[in-house]
Amino acid sequence: MDNIQTFINEIPGLTWNWLKLNRDKITLEAAFNAAKAEILNAEDGIKIEEGIPSEAAGLNFASGVFNAKNPKLVDGHPHFDFVTEDKNHPVEAIFADSKYSKTVRISGKVEKPLIINFSDDESQANLTYIIAEENSESTVVFVYEGKASESIFRAKILAKENAKIHIAKVQLLGKESLQLDDTAVIAKDGAEVQFTQIELGGRHVDSGLGVILEGYKSRFTSEVAYTCKKDQMLDMNHIVYHTGKKSECLMNVNGTLLENAFKTYRGTIDFKNGCAGSKGNEMEEVLLLSPKAVNKSIPVILCDEEDVEGEHGSTIGRLSKEVLFYMQSRGISEAEAEKIMSRAKIQAAASLIPSEEVKEKINAYLDK
């Protein structure tokens, strides 16, 4: 495969170019293999199929990573609507072959979490469709390990009427890895989607999230935690579109930056015309533990509907004097206090994942 240079993670509402917040740019150099997964707890109620599901043809998923603005004419003028996946995106050519795709169908109430573990050291790509049938309840955990130089992981989730699904992604890659990770969600009437993401490894990681709350009283909650150190770069573009009436979203991001780390977070809540009665809330907290670390945060609310409630905010800074005084009064040094608080952010998100095996992997990675 020829090298691919491309823009990704483009924010829906562009800012001034000199801020360098609108998008990220990457270069892919490897030939990608179909990622091999170790699948655990595939019990009754879970069916795994090769290839793309039949439902995919009628679905227009949103995307954080592989996005493009699709202008529509409104009263003769271009109107930008959903930031959907770009079918002409250079990376899309990789997924033209169905060998990269799997489908997970979930029905009924599944007690144990389905764990999908990727741990190859070769450059890899995977697209996993998850179809959560009506009234189903489940948890699916993706774990990314290994030392692959480049990897692309995508998950497309359809939560049908009244389905409840928890998607967790745990990234524990080697320090030289470049990863693109995209999560797309469509939630129908009464569906509840929970998303947990932990980012710890990698050299350059782009995380995209595109959620369409299409259904009446559909709901999305997310808890994202990260630690970036040395020369790590983390670029996030998370977007939630409200189109269904009385839909709700709550997005929380917590992280720590050390040494020469560089992190960008774009968080967008977009209230579309017709989503009356909807509510959206997003909050980010960043712990800066180095004067050389670079943080860029841009929480955004876009609104085409009057009867909605939206809140957003970002808190950035060092440990407060009160916290340090409390720690030091109990014999804990400033350096150790910083480690404790940084780790606490990760463990708070990890506590939401109902798998002791995965939690042990996270703790082992943190110890290392």
What is the distance between the alpha carbons of residues 299 and 310, in angstroms, rounded to a whole number?
A: 11
Highest mean pLDDT among 3-7, 342-346, 351-355: 351-355
Q: State how far Cα 167 lies from the chain centre.
A: 10
220 vs 13, higher pLDDT: 220
Mean pLDDT value of segment 184-198 = 97
> What's the rounded mean pLDDT across residues 338-355?
93
Number of structural domains found in the chain: 1
Give dist(CA 136, CA 45) in Å, integer.
9
For residues 4 and 90, what is the distance between their CA atoms, to the nearest angstrom? 7
15 pLDDT higher than 60 = yes
More confident residue, 307 or 321: 307
CA distance 281 to 295: 21
Closest CA to 137 of 115, 103, 116, 113: 113
What pLDDT, on the 0 to 100 scale, is given for residue 331? 79
- pLDDT band of residue 317 (cuts 50, 70, 90) is confident
Q: Mean pLDDT highest for which of 52-66, 95-109, 133-147, 338-352?
A: 133-147
Distance set, CA 342 to CA 229, 294, 347 (Å): 11, 17, 9
Is pLDDT of 287 > 70? yes
**pLDDT score recorded for residue 320:** 72
3-state secondary structure of 229: coil
Confidence of residue 69 (pLDDT cuts 50, 70, 90): low
| Model pLDDT for residues 301-313, shown as the tens digit of each residue | 999 899 999 999 8
pLDDT at 91: 81
Q: How far apart are CA 241 and CA 184, in angstroms?
A: 11
Average model confidence (pLDDT) for the chain? 91
Output the pLDDT for position 3: 81
| Rounded-to-integer distance, Cα 66 and Cα 40, Å | 29
pLDDT band at 325 (very low <50, low <70, confident <90, very high): low
Closest CA to 202 of 157, 258, 145, 245: 145
Q: Once rounded to an integer, what is the mean pLDDT over residues 343-349?
A: 95
What confidence tier does 286 reach under pLDDT thresholds 50, 70, 90? very high
Mean pLDDT of 208-226: 97
Q: What are phi and psi of 9, to 5 degrees?
A: 55, 45
Tell me the pLDDT band of 95, cut-offs 50, 70 and 90. Answer: confident
Cα separation, 63 vs 242, whole angstroms: 14
The answer on pLDDT for 60 being more than 70 is: yes
pLDDT score for 158: 97
pTM of the model: 0.93
Determine the Cα–Cα distance for residues 285 and 320; give it in Å rounded to an integer.
13
Question: What is the rounded average pLDDT of the residues 322-349?
Answer: 82
1 compared with 66, residue with greater pLDDT: 66
pLDDT on residue 346: 97
pLDDT above 60 (res 73): no
Whole-angstrom Cα distance, residue 280 to residue 262?
27
* Contact of 12 with 270, CB cutoff 8 Å: yes
Residue type, 227: T
Token pair for residue 233?
A: 């770069």
pLDDT at 93: 77
pLDDT of residue 92: 77
Which two tokens mark 6?
């491309």
DSSP 89-108: -GGGGGGGSGGGEEEEEE-S
Asked whether the predicted pLDDT for residue 163 surpasses 60, the reply is: yes
Is residue 75 over pLDDT 80?
no
Residue 230: Cβ-neighbour burial (10 angstroms; 0-12, 13-18, 19+): exposed
Phi, psi for residue 357 in degrees, rounded to 5: -60, -45
Query: What domain range is 167 assigned to?
Result: 4-367
